[in-house]
Amino acid sequence: MSSEETLYHRLGGEEQISSIVDDFYERVLDDESVAGFFDDVDMAAQRAHQTQFLSAVAGGPVEYDGAEMREAHEGLGLEQEHFAAIATHLEASLREFDVSDEAVEDIMSEVAALEDDILVR
């Protein structure tokens, strides 16, 4: 693997990231502890948005144009247990698609760095 290869490429590019995101949201929507946060959400748009976000975070040729994390999650009432559940589902989806341990750790580190903004604290 080239030292110049981005996390985006290590994840398999946009098509693979899109598949990971689809799996992730299937897990999230099956989890009663967090599914309610998505009751009034256009899930096709949410999946596209999340694919764009994950691609941008991973260093892909994508510019994220969504709201800032704090702004996007303001007023949702997310707590630590919700964040942990979502992170667990993301990690499970990454592993389902045989993402390397190193890449999983890199993505989960990026997610962890967003925790305070997502929980609006």
- At 60-100, the pLDDT tens digits run 988 777 778 888 888 888 999 999 999 999 999 999 999 99
Residue with structure tokens 């589902």? 89
Can you give the pLDDT at residue 2?
46
Can you give the pLDDT at residue 68?
83
Token code pair at residue 104 = 């999983």
Can you give the pLDDT at residue 32?
97
For residue 119, pLDDT over 70 is answered with: yes
Q: Could you tell me the pLDDT band of residue 4, with boundaries at 50, 70 and 90? A: low
Note the residue count of the chain.
121
In angstroms, the CA 84 to CA 59 distance is: 24
In angstroms, the CA 98 to CA 96 distance is: 6
- At 16-58, the pLDDT tens digits run 999 999 999 999 999 999 999 999 999 999 999 999 989 988 8
According to DSSP, residue 66 is labeled S
In percent, the amount of the chain with pLDDT more than 70 equals 96
